[in-house]
Structure 1
């Protein structure tokens, strides 16, 4: 006779397998991931001036960068929060739903 644990083993294995499938990137998630990278690149370009200023300050101050360039670092962070926020990305996805669908269909 089989024990209850042995009869449930296939169900448990199937559940683990299903969880693994869900964890992988689906075609839609893969397309969203690519769009998120592109969205972040645009945000970085918008904050490029702040990044250049911080880089120059870092080169001039070496190890003191943490103290001397704090304000420039704060400006980078503020700029990135403004242009790379989750809310802005959701709005970007809504504005580009057709592109997301095209990428999803192309990936299948």
Structure 2
């Protein structure tokens, strides 16, 4: 079920301009994992000369990340995920990173 703009909670400036973009960067790194790996490998192999030797890998990584950063559908997907996490936090008081961890058993 899609929510309309009127149904969405108000998001503060910091949420729209900092928190959601942070989530986008984290997710884009996962989506661009092959490019991240190629660039990292090149840098490790090239040492001091990485600035010159890894230009192509750096360009491919930047292109992949930029493609996601500039995608309005990707922003909307991350915004909806952020809203769900925020609502869950407001209900439980438990941050998302702690909810994903296993709770200790009482036995």
TM-score (norm 1): 0.55
Please report how far the alpha carbon of residue 37 of structure 1 lies from its aligned counterpart in structure 2 after TM superposition.
2.2
Q: Where does 1:1-108 land on structure 2 (aligned, <5 Å)?
A: 28-29=11-12, 30-32=14-16, 33-85=18-70, 87-92=72-77, 99=84, 102=87
* CA deviation string 1:36-84 (max 9, x = no partner): 3222211110111111111111111111101111000000000001112
Relative distance call for 1:87 and 1:61 in structure 2 (3 A) is same
Instruction: Kindly indicate whether structure 1 or structure 2 has the higher relative contact order, using CA contacts under 8 Å at least 6 residues apart.
Output: 1
Question: 60-69 or 82-91, which moves further after superposition?
Answer: 82-91
User: What is the TM-score normalised by the length of structure 2?
Assistant: 0.55
3-state SS of paired residue (2:11): helix
8 Å CA contact retained: 1:31, 1:100: no
More helix as a share of residues: 1
Tell whether the 8 Å contact from 2:69 to 2:75 is kept in structure 1 after alignment: no
SS in 2 for 1:28: coil
**1:31/1:104 contact within 8 Å kept:** no
The structure-2 alpha-carbon separation of the partners of 1:87 and 1:74, relative to structure 1 and needing over 3 Å to count, comes to same
